[in-house]
Amino acid sequence: MADAPTGARDLAPVLLFSAFVVATCGLVYELLAGTLASYLLGDSVTQFSTVIGTYLFAMGIGAWLSRYVTANELAVFVRTEILIAAIGGSSAALLFLLFDRVGDFRLPLYGLVLIIGTLVGLEIPLLMRILKDRLEFGDLVSKVLTFDYIGALAASLLFPLVLVPHLGLIRTGFLFGLANVGVALAMLWMLPQASRLRGEMAAGILVAIALVAGLFSAERLQRLAEVAAYQAPIIHAVSTPYQRIVLTRRNDDVRLFLNGNLQFSSRDEYRYHEALVHPALGRIAHPANVLILGGGDGLAAREVLKYPGVRSITLVDLDPAMTRLFTDAPMLAALNGNALRSPKLIIVNADAFVWLRANQRRFGAVIVDFPDPTNFSIGKLYTLSLYRELARAIAPGGIAVVQSTSPLVAPNAYWTVATTLEAAGLTTRGYHAYVPSFGEWGFILAAHGAIADAVALPPGLRFLTPRTAALAFDFPPDMARRPTPVNRLDNQALVRAFDAEWSRVEG
Amino acid sequence: MLTRRSLLATPALAVPGCSFLGALPGTLSGADMARGHLLRTPFAAGTPAETRRTKIAIIGGGIAGLSAAFTLAEAGHRDFRLFELEDSAGGNSRAGRNAVSAYPLGAHYLPIPNPESSGVRHFLERIGTITGWQGGKPVFDPYQIVADPEERILHLGRWQEGLIPAIVPDADRADLAAFFAAMDRFRDHKTSDGRRAFAIPMDLSSRDPDLRALDALSFTAWLDARGWSTPTLRAHLRYCTRDEYGTEPGEVSAWAGIHYFAARRGEAANCAGDAVLTWPAGNGYLAAAMARRVAGHIEPGIVVAAVRTSGDGAQIDALDVANRRRIRILADAAIIALPRFVAAHVVAGASAKGFGYSPWVVANVTADRLPAGQGAKLAWDNVSATSDSLGYVVATHQGLAAVPGPTVLTWYTALSDMTPATARTLMTDRPLADWQRIVHDDLMAMNPDLAGAIRRIDVWRWGHAMVRPVPGFFFGGARENAAKSAPPLFNAHSDLSGLSIFEEAHFRGSTAAEAAMTHLGFAHVSVHTA
Ligand SMILES: Cc1cc2nc3c(=O)[nH]c(=O)nc-3n(C[C@H](O)[C@H](O)[C@H](O)COP(=O)(O)OP(=O)(O)OC[C@H]3O[C@@H](n4cnc5c(N)ncnc54)[C@H](O)[C@@H]3O)c2cc1C
């Protein structure tokens, strides 16, 4: 097609403009891949440098391959353009969706970068050959490369300043895909009637329609791709038979998400775990045997180990992947002070309810740190039936503490836990603490007899002091106790209250 | 191992409705017809290879027969045998089990019993389902009370809690209110004879002629006469009569229709009175509890072919399936805990005139994950407003796992829209793969989210699942006659109540056992106080 029949409209300006578009789009896809990789895999220096390297190398492959195109350059150029539009345009969406569905995310990542790079690399030489009869050689090289580099500049400025903040990664991809296919269609349209490439035209229109559809369903795709929901780079993500564990890190802030729910932020988790553990442990004369239900991150265990009198800690957590991770990963083990490696610790990977029903031992302290009652299965862990089993596990003079959601956001849910513990024959005392990444959070102490005022805190705490620990038991009117039902297996009153109260704030 | 990745990935890859079902594993089974048909062959003639003696012979090991055995054992009786045709006792309350869960093959729940169901309460207390009493009301083991949410219905594409659609026209709402108000009045009604209008066991119901007259017409005719004809009410009532009796509302007696709504006055100290008790194995749990208590007395694989009185006692001829031997049992008394259509073949002089049976199909569907859906969350019992099936119950619903894994769904349908005879022919002719497709498609219409998650479908056919309480059945004479015992033969089966439920089977079995003990002069205290 390079030797287009005379009388055709002059294609040169369009072709040069397409050099600009091809360059912009190519760089945008490369930046998308780099950003996505550092966002999902962390370590942005490595991700960007490997993505850019792969991309440039792939362009080289494309340039080399262009020698095998011996005829029909224009048709090949248009086809390549349409292919880039389809693959590059949907690359961000594809990568997001594939992230938690493939074994090794790097495979699709570098695969896509390689394909897009190769296709883009094929285009510039082809373009030059198409234009070689229309322009003088020196002029040709100068013009094509000028447009190419201007395109690169445009992309690198637009990307961080306009595209990512305003459109997001997925939409940006679709939009540039549309630009790619737009150029291809414009060229096809400018060809003389007789030599129009009908197949290519149809393919181009289909791709354009698909990209527009993608552009409009970006929000839904985003939701499908749960990883897009995290606010910080992911440093570890794994699906176990029980849950999805995701760790993110931004600067010194490490966060753990289970099934998308924040479990802790390393910035303020000490507040949560000090508040969880010490009001209970500090009220027992000689806490020797401690039971922790949930809490596979070892952070509660770290606090328990601050009592030298503790001889053994039994930690029951469903997921072996979780306890293994927090035992073996150096950064996480540092977070829990190697608590999970303590010789005093016995890790039991079992379903807490089932384990507790079978358990015959009694413990001086029981720390109950289950996930929030967001569904009926977890709701069973907060029922009268479980608390009856819990009461059996508390030694005389012993004490239990239950994390019980936010008394500010969900006062009915919070006090339902207290009412239910009391129905199991336990005495309760509720308290609360402010944990910035959670908000105002609530806990409930439960024991067979009266619960003392006096608390003996270990040295070295960062949050609790005897004064704040006492104040925590004071509930202002907006969180004050109110009459609530007993949560039972056959009424799931807690899940219903929790759902109603949290949906009011989360919409 | 099942990973979340595979959970996420499969639905996208599987094409709903796409039929690679031919390869889906499963079994097609049912009550052992071959053994049943031995009754019609003349094998029982001729001389038995062996003659045994026992004081009391119980024939049939469903809930009625097991209740009789349990009652004898509890009373301290030692000398009795129970003969059961199948390889295990339980009858319609049997259960199956696979690597994922136990699951019911038939009966799957027991409502919190009424105070007058004193025998059932006594039994539940003996097996630890009732753990104590508070303020005169029984305390039930919370793990055996159906976990919340109990039921949901798919209506207009959304699941909602309960079994009656919420979004309905005002006229439908008014009819529903009027109907349930009438049922409340019936429930509270006591007649001049001091009896409840409708009681469980039904034998304790009022004898008031006005109430008995309800048996003369069909439920539909009774509703028509009251002008209650709006679609939401009628659809719900159709669901109920099919679910309870396997029969269309136009074919059940109005007395049965009303009994279903007006007879339940369950009492519990620690849950709602209208709750139910359920287990992964369904009522197989109750059958197993009974069978354990009388384990040494049960003889499975014995087809009883003929029962007649002989002298003061009973002579029973049977076939021992394992040895293919004829045996004769001589007993001082016999408790006939057989369905009436079988008893008619076996017991000299017995007739099954007036006894018809509804055919049912039950499928146990093993799936990789729990069903989900728009709207209300998965419940124990899940029903679709637009399906002719009766929906499914979730065998793992009572489980305590915080993160649920694979499950077994027990899917039900009553083949009530054709004559029972046609349905039985269909049941024998239709191959497994066709049943599987029907079950699969029905489930997919309710829960497209299950696409790709179904591992196997096991189909169980009940040709004579439940006695049909057609108009005139309760008080027309035939049932009452069949229920009469002629010592030393004592009749016991839920058929004799016309209501195919656990309580009736238990009542028939335990009262027959007590009558037999009285007949033989064996001292005992009745479990029936009402
Ligand atoms: C699909 C289905 C669902 C149901 N759901 C419920 C429910 O949820 N709740 C409820 O309360 N009820 C339910 N029922 C009703 C159930 O039938 C009763 O609860 C109860 O199990 C009936 O017990 P039975 O002893 O009266 O009868 P059967 O169960 O019919 O017992 C009769 C026994 O006699 C044996 N037998 C037959 N012939 C011979 C012979 N010749 N020799 C020796 N033995 C013989 C049979 O094998 C059987 O074991 C359901 C029934 C079905 C079919």
Whether B150 shows a pLDDT value over 90: the answer reads yes
A3 assigned to a ligand binding site: no
pLDDT confidence of residue B42: 64
Q: Which of A26, A34, A25 is nearest to A52 (CA)?
A: A34
A12 assigned to a ligand binding site: no
Q: B526 C-alpha to center of ligand 1: Å?
A: 24
Q: A276 C-alpha to center of ligand 1: Å?
A: 54
Between CA A193 and CA A191 the distance in angstroms is 6
A273 assigned to a ligand binding site: yes
Any chain A CB within 8 A of the CB of B213? no
pLDDT confidence of residue B35: 81
Q: Mean pLDDT over all residues of chain B? A: 93
Q: Between chains, do A385 and B143 touch, taking CB under 8 Å as contact? A: yes
Residue of B nearest to A244 (CA): B4
Q: Between chains, do B8 and A384 touch, taking CB under 8 Å as contact? A: no
Q: What percent of chain B has pLDDT over 70?
A: 95
Helix axis angle for B231-245 and B254-262, nearest 10°, is 90
Q: A307 C-alpha to center of ligand 1: Å?
A: 61
Whether B181 shows a pLDDT value over 60: the answer reads yes
* CATH class of the domain comprising A11-226: mainly alpha
pLDDT confidence of residue A68: 92
Query: What average pLDDT does range B392-408 have in this prediction?
Result: 94
Whether B20 shows a pLDDT value over 50: the answer reads no
Least confident range from A185-194, A480-489, B390-399: namely A185-194
Q: A67 C-alpha to center of ligand 1: Å?
A: 81
Between CA B132 and CA B460 the distance in angstroms is 37
Nearest by CB: B400 against A353, A375, A488: A353
Query: What average pLDDT does range B136-142 have in this prediction?
Result: 98
Q: Which residue's CA is the closest to the ligand 1 atom numbered 10?
A: B501
More confident residue, A192 or A493: A493
Q: Between chains, do B4 and A490 touch, taking CB under 8 Å as contact? A: no
Which residue stretches of B361-487 are H helix? 420-429, 432-446, 478-483
A&B contacts, CB < 8 Å: 78
Between CA A117 and CA B487 the distance in angstroms is 94
Whether B295 shows a pLDDT value over 70: the answer reads yes
Chain B residue numbers with beta carbons less than 8 Å from the beta carbon of A498 are: none
pLDDT confidence of residue B18: 40
Q: Between chains, do B403 and A370 touch, taking CB under 8 Å as contact? A: no
How many CB atoms neighbour CB A289 within 10 A?
Answer: 18
Pairing of strands A244-250, A234-239: antiparallel
Q: Which of B308, B244, B360, B302 is nearest to B89 (CA)?
A: B302
Residue of A nearest to B9 (CA): A101
Distance from CA of B147 to the nearest CA of A (A): 4
Least confident range from A65-74, B63-72, B157-166, B247-256: namely A65-74
Between CA B526 and CA B346 the distance in angstroms is 29
Q: How confident is the model at residue B51 (pLDDT cuts 50, 70, 90)?
A: very high
Q: Between chains, do B147 and A352 touch, taking CB under 8 Å as contact? A: no
Query: What average pLDDT does range A361-387 have in this prediction?
Result: 96
A453 assigned to a ligand binding site: no
Q: Between chains, do B400 and A242 touch, taking CB under 8 Å as contact? A: no
Q: Between chains, do A488 and B403 touch, taking CB under 8 Å as contact? A: no
Distance from CA of A290 to the nearest CA of B (A): 22
Whether A392 shows a pLDDT value over 50: the answer reads yes
Point out the residues of A that are catalytic: 369
Any chain A CB within 8 A of the CB of B8? yes
Whether B5 shows a pLDDT value over 70: the answer reads no
Whether B144 shows a pLDDT value over 90: the answer reads yes
Return all residues near A321 (Cβ < 8 A) that are at least 6 apart.
A238, A240, A242, A245
Whether A231 shows a pLDDT value over 80: the answer reads no
Q: Mean pLDDT over all residues of chain A? A: 89
Q: How confident is the model at residue A71 (pLDDT cuts 50, 70, 90)?
A: confident
In ligand 1, the atom with minimum distance to the C-alpha of B304 is: 42
Q: How confident is the model at residue B530 (pLDDT cuts 50, 70, 90)?
A: low
pLDDT confidence of residue A7: 41
pLDDT confidence of residue A193: 65
Q: B91 C-alpha to center of ligand 1: Å?
A: 4
Q: Cβ distance B13 to B425 under 8 Å?
A: no
Q: Which residue's CA is the closest to the ligand 1 atom numbered 1?
A: B106
Chain A residue numbers with beta carbons less than 8 Å from the beta carbon of B404 are: 377
Whether B44 shows a pLDDT value over 60: the answer reads no
pLDDT confidence of residue B200: 97
Q: Cβ distance B50 to B328 under 8 Å?
A: yes
Q: Between chains, do A239 and B3 touch, taking CB under 8 Å as contact? A: yes
Pairing of strands A345-348, A312-316: parallel
Domains in chain B: ranges and CATH: 4-30+357-467 (no CATH), 34-87+301-355+470-520 (3.50.50.60), 110-145+151-274 (1.10.405.10)
More confident residue, A148 or A210: A210
For B247, phi then psi, to 5°, come to -140, 145
Buried b (16+ CB within 10 A) or exposed e, B264-291: bbbebebbeeebbbbbbbbbbbbbbbbb
Architecture of the domain defined by A268-506: 3-Layer(aba) Sandwich (3.40)
**For residue A488, what are the CA distances in angstroms to A45, A219, A382, A432?**
52, 39, 8, 24
Q: Between chains, do A243 and B9 touch, taking CB under 8 Å as contact? A: no
Between CA A282 and CA A367 the distance in angstroms is 13
Q: B460 C-alpha to center of ligand 1: Å?
A: 14
Between CA B472 and CA B85 the distance in angstroms is 31
- B426-471: pLDDT as tens digits: 999 999 999 999 999 999 999 999 999 999 999 999 999 999 999 9
Any chain A CB within 8 A of the CB of B405? yes
Q: B431 C-alpha to center of ligand 1: Å?
A: 24
Which chain A residues touch B if contact means CB-CB below 8 Å? Answer: 100-101, 239-244, 318, 351-354, 357, 370-371, 375-378, 380-381, 383-385, 488-492
Distance from CA of A488 to the nearest CA of B (A): 8
In ligand 1, the atom with minimum distance to the C-alpha of B61 is: 49
Ligand 1, CB cutoff 6 Å, lining residues: B 39, 59-65, 83-86, 91-93, 106-110, 283, 303-304, 337-339, 342, 346, 360, 362, 462, 465-466, 493-494, 500-502, 505
Q: Between chains, do A490 and B9 touch, taking CB under 8 Å as contact? A: no
pLDDT confidence of residue A95: 85
Q: How confident is the model at residue A8 (pLDDT cuts 50, 70, 90)?
A: very low
Which secondary-structure segment (H or E) carries A137? helix A137-158
Residue of A nearest to B12 (CA): A101
pLDDT confidence of residue A154: 87
Return all residues near B485 (Cβ < 8 A) that are at least 6 apart.
B491, B512, B515
Q: How confident is the model at residue A100 (pLDDT cuts 50, 70, 90)?
A: low
Chain A residue numbers with beta carbons less than 8 Å from the beta carbon of B147 are: 376, 380, 489-490, 492
Whether A209 shows a pLDDT value over 60: the answer reads yes
Among A121-130, B343-352, B506-515, which range has the highest average pLDDT? B506-515
Q: Which residue's CA is the closest to the ligand 1 atom numbered 20?
A: B502
- A134-184: pLDDT as tens digits: 778 888 888 888 888 888 888 888 888 888 777 878 889 999 999 999 988
pLDDT confidence of residue B7: 31
Q: How confident is the model at residue B16 (pLDDT cuts 50, 70, 90)?
A: very low
Q: For CATH 3.40.50.150, list the domain ranges present in chain A.
A: 268-506
Tell me the residue type at A251.
N
Task: Identify from B4, B131, B370, B398 which residue to disrupt to test chain A contact, counting A C-beta atoms within 10 A and taking the largest count.
Answer: B4
Which residue stretches of B397-501 are H helix? 420-429, 432-446, 478-483
A492 assigned to a ligand binding site: no
The neighbouring-strand residues paired with A366 are: A291, A400
Any chain A CB within 8 A of the CB of B13? no
Q: For CATH 1.20.1250, list the domain ranges present in chain A.
A: 11-226
Query: What average pLDDT does range B172-179 have in this prediction?
Result: 97
Any chain A CB within 8 A of the CB of B112? no
Q: How confident is the model at residue A133 (pLDDT cuts 50, 70, 90)?
A: confident
pLDDT confidence of residue B1: 33
